[in-house]
Structure 1
């Protein structure tokens, strides 16, 4: 997607995109000539926000694109992205005075994304020229991270297994000079990752955990943990077919973590970055873990299994315990964890959980500024009783029988594995866009990571 945006000066010929309002349309048309006014009248174009019209020149080639905005600016930060699919291939440019040019350019490029690994690539390429007021370097870093996350989520599980996901972590860190290791199969037991092993052992593709670092050891420690369930059948609590069809996206937490890590390393932020991704397939076989089993964990807690379809929090428990052992300055985990989060907030608004009030406020402010919607939900301690077990230290699902507060109780379960880290935040993401929206083509989606990139950039760059 980075190649979609170029400097205006690098385009020899480009069709300008002019922002108009319903009030300013007549003045703009007066400058374009009578034929432009006639064309608008024929096409019933009034300058309504988010509407657009390509006005051909007298020679028949595209001359100008009119795009409707509100008096206060863009109707949505990524509104310009809505017109990408309707434009002919070619070069375009934002006219002088176009409102919010950086957000407009980002929306255009985000909407131009296509996952074409398994199809003949489209030759309908559209580029957008921008002025010096747009930070192309930073936007390019963001676009690369978003593309990485989307590509990983969109890749089917037959081509993206635990081995391939761990390899993607290694490849990203090697690209930027980082290093790490991958613990595989039975070695997980030897190195005390019993829940990762239990969840992934039924698959013919061995479970593993990838643990990689980058940056100077003396810098503030930022640790990212991502759920890497490459496909979730539900295990012995087998999902129905309708619930299984999108389960290639159950590694969306790890994909988003890698997208964020890509941004951090490409921007050379002054942090010591660590990424931990448990990579498993939740499959069914004779040695699959069962409801009623009691698992040990890296933290030392015994965990009663209430439902094998709640496997993500188990592998995250071991990974969070590992991350917590070095008390990072900031620890972030991301996971496609619960359907309850989608019932509460829908697919576009992921909830986040933290005890750190300052961090929570910063996230809220930056999410709105970045048009990267997030919503805080509480780590409501009275609900911890829903995880009580009569035979183990904790049950990993709500045992009340009522099914209340599914996303909150999942977050509370994870919190039991974080003891030393003061600034920990959990994101229960969907990782998918069901239908095309401005800046969000249908399919795998990066959620929260543009906001988090801004947060980490501001928090630690200013500390130097």
Structure 2
């Protein structure tokens, strides 16, 4: 059980919380006994989004709490995150919460603290899990978000390719999944672009492969970009751009987070997780601009910029995934700044040639408050990644539409899978907001988990 949540047995003595919009506030206050109603009026509580008020009895003991949801047409789904502002103690959702599960999730996601290097200081506020909320489902979602965030937040000195593989191995052992790692000569020969990107680092590159579930079940393959740190290579990044590059393995973290939910729920699928894990470092044997690399698929790739390494390692991993024709193939990557320019940090970009898949992903994202936004695989831009010396250049000849041309490059390595989606995400929250504390962020995995559950239910 997550430490910020309390089972039903702990409900006795928990302080009731009433949620109110600006429209329902007067009615909520009138329903409170005196002196709590008088306290609310005396403190001029307006029910603005994210506001809270602890209301004491005549003896000064907090016996009721109010949570503001804001205007009725702009209610923040994770507004219950603000409950952490209340005095330490146990609370329970009393009234005004249209979706208790979303409220609990918002509260729990906001309770996250990364405490590996310093003492984490939780708020001391605990919330009783309502009877109507599926306890197991809530815990697996919280655990998946925590795993994703912990991996993203861990600095590169403590999270190299080997440590990322260890995290995947630990997850595989928990759910009795098969686990293997391809490295050394086998990696050089079978996955030449993964090897080329990681060869300059003293921490050897590798391809992590986790497989779980019945072999005759529908195949779902997840590919996650695992660049544990990105200097930019010989096209070195400026210091300001390098500062957050510990999070460049965010795609791998998201693949593992989604895998945790799938395995913990026991979804009847054949799950495979592929993570190319590398450090894009600088040394005498670093790959260079102008080099031509051979890919696993056989396509020759001209290197236009060594700071666009993520799509190279993804391409080799996608080629392997595509070889067994999975029913659904999804890759996650902190791939382009262009996606952030287009959509900002809160909206991951979704690319897929499958209109039905796109509509379904977007629908589930909206339903579980885990949004994405679709961008086009615009065929007119394919000419921008042509090469005069190789089959393809991995970056565009134009300084525009960088997220689209990166996706078009990846598309060249997926031929057999009937449904493929590429998700270009930020994996980071630059400031605290409801459900997303500052630091590593888990994005899109709840949407994809909801999609997979829906597909499973549709088959039964």
TM-score > 0.5 by shorter chain: yes
Structure 2: runs of 5+ lacking an equivalent = none
State which of 350, 355, 372 in structure 1 corresponds to 2:348: 350
Where 1:300 maps in the other structure, the secondary structure is coil
- The residue number in structure 2 matching 1:48 is 48
Q: From the superposition, tell whether residues 405 and 28 of structure 1 become closer, same or farther in structure 2 (CA, over 3 Å).
A: closer
What are the within-5 Å matches in structure 2 for residues 315-330 of structure 1?
315-330=313-328
Contact 1:219 1:272 in 2 (8 A): yes
Deviations 1:201-257 (A, max 9, x none): 000100000011000001000000000000000000000000000000000000001
CA contact (8 A) 2:351 2:377 kept: yes
Per the alignment, residue 108 of structure 1 pairs with: 107
SS in 1 for 2:305: coil
Q: Which ranges in structure 1 are unaligned for 5 or more consecutive residues?
A: none
* 1:392-431 mapped onto 2 (5 Å cutoff): 392-399=390-397, 402-431=398-427
Who is 2:86 aligned against? 87
Q: Distance in 1 between matches of 2:361 and 2:175?
A: 27
Length, aligned pairs only? 460
- 1:236 alignment counterpart: 234
SS in 2 for 1:19: strand
Which secondary structure does the structure 2 equivalent of 1:274 belong to?
strand
Instruction: Give yes or no for contact 2:48–2:71 (8 Å, CA) kept in 1.
Output: no
Deviates more, 1:86-95 or 1:1-10: 1-10
1:186 and 1:197 in contact (8 A); partners too:
no
**Cα deviation, residue 382, structure 1:** 1.2
The residue number in structure 1 matching 2:430 is 434
Q: Is the 8 A contact 1:202 1:286 kept in 2?
A: yes
Deviation per residue, 1:175-206 (Å, 9 max, x gap): 1010121012333113x100000000000100
- Partner residue in 2 for 1:22: 22
More displaced stretch, 62-71 vs 350-359: 62-71
Deviates more, 1:51-60 or 1:288-297: 51-60
User: Quick one: structure 1 residues 385 and 98, their matched pair in 2 at CA, closer, same or farther if it must change by over 3 Å?
Assistant: same
- Could you say which residue in structure 1 is the equivalent of 2:384? 386
Whether the aligned pair in 2 keeps the contact of 1:201 and 1:207 (CA below 8 Å) is yes
Specify the alignment match of 1:187 in structure 2.
186
Question: Distance in 2 between the 1:256 and 1:163 partners?
Answer: 18
In structure 1, the residue matched to 2:66 is 66
CA deviation map 1:284-306 (0-9, x unaligned): 00000000000000000000000
SS of 1:2's partner is coil
Q: SS where residue 6 of structure 2 aligns?
A: strand
Q: More deviation in 121-130 or 322-331?
A: 121-130
1:27 Cα deviation from its structure 2 partner: 3.7
> How far off is 1:71 after superposition?
7.4
Equivalent-residue separation in structure 2 for 1:25 and 1:331 (angstroms)? 47
The alpha-carbon distance between structure 1 residues 79 and 271, as it changes in their structure 2 partners (threshold 3 A), is same
Q: Counterpart of 1:186 in 2: which secondary structure?
A: helix
- Using the size of structure 1 for normalisation, the TM-score is 0.96
1:173 deviates by: 1.1
Task: For 1:409 and 1:145, locate their aligned partners in 2 and report how far apart those are by CA, in whole Å.
Answer: 31
Match of 2:451 among 443, 455, 461: 455
Please report the RMSD computed on the Cα atoms of aligned residues, expressed in angstroms: 1.6
Cross-structure match for 1:76: 76
Q: TM-score, normalised by structure 2?
A: 0.97
Kindly state the Cα deviation for residue 72 of structure 1 after the two structures are TM-superposed.
4.9
1:44-83 residue CA offsets vs partner (Å, 9 max, x unmatched): 2123343221112222222111112357588111111133
Measure, in 1, the Cα distance between the counterparts of 2:222 and 2:105: 25
CA contact (8 A) 1:82 1:437 kept: no
Partner of 1:98: 97
The separation in 1 between residues aligned to 2:48 and 2:155, in whole angstroms, is 40
Tell me the residue number matched to 1:140.
Answer: 139
Distance 1:22 1:339, change over 3 A: closer
> Is this contact kept in 2: 1:73–1:99, CA < 8 A?
no
Q: Contact 1:269/1:461 (CA < 8 Å) preserved in 2? A: no
Assess if the C-alpha contact under 8 Å between 2:53 and 2:86 holds in 1.
no
Task: Judge conservation of contact 1:15–1:63 (CA < 8 Å) in 2.
Answer: yes
CA distance in 2, matches of 1:138, 1:58: 40
> 1:443 maps to which residue?
439
Offset from partner CA, 1:26-55 (integer Å, 9 cap, x none): 443334334223322332212334322111
Contact kept, 8 Å, 1:8 with 1:93, in 2: the verdict is: no
Shift of 1:13: 1.6
| 1:263 equivalent in alignment to 2:261 | yes
